[in-house]
Structure 1
């Protein structure tokens, strides 16, 4: 039986591990932290619980698929509830629009807040989003690329994407369908997840809008950290070994062929393996595990996505009535803020912020009568001139004032402020948790490959490689890495 070592027990690594152990390989997952999760971590302090990574969970079927590959039914290990509303959107004029689950409910929400014309346009918008998703997912997202020519491997799919306007710009595509500028923001802000402004993002990234605004947002009791725990449980039940609190020092190579031979742990112990899946950020992986290899051009010249400041707050008291689990507060200066963030790499002059309050759904995440929440503000990555050692304090004060102005409790009992410096210390290149931006030149076959040409048997997974950023994409990246391993071990070629 061939052995595979997976470096990192985050969502990508565990997605790969579930599939590989389900294939019958001998799988060992090595994780430096004391618990599974990777970037989907957990912070517990004095009775408050916080997810330290993703907070928005979409595409439940991708989790179910990974669990099923290891012989586990999602209903047995990860009960999920759908959030409705998925978001509460608050605008600078004081108005509110809720993102409701279901076409009928959302159409009527738009009718009540934006008028009949935009409500009548919603069905066509949903049909467009769904068609984009149906074409993109199998042909451009959930697949490995060996060459840019693979983009036209299925000419009909490529032609359909062109016909749908997928290579146009997202912002203008949304504006053409709706009159109300609030809907323009609500259905295009997701471009920021891809590291771009709605004006510059390709319309193909409307699939992110489809995932969270149409397919819906889910929540597991106890927080999103429950997802990697469920995946780790499934992998172990199927026979994988998960080593926690165990760091990897280097990737070993065969002296005869130069191919992967296993890994050496920080302890000096060696684990032999026929293939290795590494889920570290690609730049971090090359610098720490493969120091004798030159950084690939795509890694060396990567354009990073903006970063974010995240302030985890455990506060005494409860939020104002009407507060949702996820709350987006849109600033007035929309275009100006994106120009500052992306073009000049400055703080947004009028930032839009996400406030996630899990205790609205799950009160167990805070002591009785208290609130667990975090507020996220997009900020430039470390390529900017901002000195976060000086800026952290003023940023914290601004966020506190913002929470007070918007009805959130501010009697802070516990807190944790995460800036780009902290993201960098966690191994995220550029100090951003959102990896490289999804420009056309960093998408699909142009993104950092999940194979390492100089080291046969080493494969990459995670947000820094294909297909990209976000919980759904990272789960898919684990699947794609597992497919690479399968081809390498069975056919002798990646």
Structure 2
């Protein structure tokens, strides 16, 4: 039985751990914090429970696949509810469109709000999204790359994607299909998940729209933190070891440069392979300071960040509020230009408000509500001084909640800015890592293996396949596949030597 260490108990690390345990390895997950989940953590304040990271869950079958690898099932671990609507979209003119779970219901919603022509287009749009997804997932997402030429290893799938317009731009692809500008926004805002404006994102990222509008949005009882809890429980029930509050301080290698374990403040942990889930810049600095990071890590284009305001309030929202509420600003393209191109706050921002206590009242005290308010903002490479801007931002968000009909008698709160994301070790203060430009996608994204350090693998949003809960779960699976192939052909290791004593350069983390 080979020994494998996973650094980090977030979604990527726990996914890798479940798959590695299923392969029959002796797996230990080492986490620097006192709890599991990483960015998908939980914050508990005065009887309120807040999800600290993602709030939108799609593709639950990927969670089931991960749990099955560790001998469990989703149905045994998490109670899921499909949200209908997945989102309520509220526009500056006061109109509302619900993103309905059932395609027939969505056609009727579009018919009532946007007209017959756009309603007639929706069925063909769903077909287009579905074909994109079925081509992309097995051939270009759930796959390990060794070089850029690997894009050509499925030429038939690549040709079909080209025929479907996947390498055009998302914004124009949506406008060709629908006439109502409100649908343009509702069906393309997902480009923000990959760090781009809809006008710049490739149409292939419509697969995220597929996940939202076709596959559906789900809510786990207890909040999103129920997902890492389920993965951790399945992992330990299958015999894995989970160590908390033990920061890894360096990598141990043998005389041939192969991985032999890690160091922590508690001592050395020997292993035949290591999966590291840190942000790529931090991973290179900590684990392999003598290896030059790839260009995308050194000088890549990072996605915008977000301000997240966790607010526990007295009172319940009115009937106009749903679980997920997207408030679209009046200006659209100019808002993206300001934030992404100029590094400035959106002049007329769009915001997300999630109210998970609507579907799980246990997340708030009786008669109270748990609110998660998110506004996209520039990363730390922009021009915003967050020491000065945090208080005005809070006041604007408070007024926005009052204007939107949300309860605003605050019991407890926590405001998270890009400075806080940076303190968590995230480059440029963004939880969305590297933007998914074409040159930072697929084989051009930071790789999940390091040829100069055999036995070291990466998982998480900074490597393949990318950002978002489904992609991060797959990143753990892909790293585990790498480890399995490596350990199946690994030559005997030489005596270990500790490279972690070499001082780490901080130059890669800007």
Q: Distance in 2 between matches of 1:407 and 1:263?
A: 52
**Paired position in structure 1 for 2:119:** 119
Alignment of 1:376-391 (within 5 A): 376-391=374-389
1:318 aligned to which of 316, 319, 329: 316
Q: Distance in 1 between matches of 2:188 and 2:383?
A: 28
**Paired position in structure 2 for 1:142:** 142
**Paired position in structure 2 for 1:263:** 262
Q: Does 1:352 find its partner at 2:363?
A: no
**Paired position in structure 2 for 1:43:** 43
**Paired position in structure 2 for 1:190:** 190
**Paired position in structure 1 for 2:458:** 460
Give the stretch that moved more between structures: 227-236 or 295-304: 295-304
Q: Distance in 1 between matches of 2:42 and 2:265?
A: 24
What SS does the aligned partner of 1:128 have?
A: helix
Alignment of 1:389-400 (within 5 A): 389-400=387-398
1:246 deviates by 1.5
1:437 deviates by 0.2
1:214 deviates by 1.1
Post-superposition CA distance 1:61-119 (Å, at most 9, x none): 00000000100011111111111111000001100000111111111111111111111
**Paired position in structure 2 for 1:155:** 155
**Paired position in structure 1 for 2:408:** 410
Q: Distance in 2 between matches of 1:427 and 1:167?
A: 33
Post-superposition CA distance 1:104-161 (Å, at most 9, x none): 1111111111111111100000000000000000001000010111101011000000
1:288 deviates by 2.4
Post-superposition CA distance 1:223-266 (Å, at most 9, x none): 100000000011111111011112111111112x1110001112
Q: Distance in 2 between matches of 1:154 and 1:186?
A: 32
Q: Distance in 2 between matches of 1:392 and 1:206?
A: 33
Q: Does 1:206 find its partner at 2:219?
A: no
**Paired position in structure 2 for 1:238:** 238
Q: Distance in 1 between matches of 2:295 and 2:136?
A: 27
State TM-score, norm by structure 2.
Answer: 0.95
**Paired position in structure 2 for 1:33:** 33
1:492 deviates by 3.2
1:387 deviates by 0.8
What SS does the aligned partner of 1:230 have?
A: helix
Give the stretch that moved more between structures: 451-460 or 434-443: 451-460
Q: How many residues align?
A: 491
**Paired position in structure 2 for 1:59:** 59
Post-superposition CA distance 1:10-60 (Å, at most 9, x none): 111111110100110000001111221011000001100000010000001
Q: CA RMSD in A?
A: 0.9
Q: Distance in 2 between matches of 1:330 and 1:298?
A: 32
Give the stretch that moved more between structures: 33-42 or 128-137: 33-42
Consecutive aligned runs of 4 or more in structure 1 exceeding 6 Å deviation: none
What SS does the aligned partner of 1:396 have?
A: helix
What SS does the aligned partner of 1:176 have?
A: helix
Alignment of 1:297-376 (within 5 A): 297-376=295-374
Post-superposition CA distance 1:423-444 (Å, at most 9, x none): 0000110100000000000000
State TM-score, norm by structure 1.
Answer: 0.98
Q: Distance in 2 between matches of 1:457 and 1:205?
A: 32
1:399 deviates by 0.4
What SS does the aligned partner of 2:177 have?
A: coil
Q: Distance in 1 between matches of 2:90 and 2:307?
A: 20
Alignment of 1:412-491 (within 5 A): 412-491=410-489
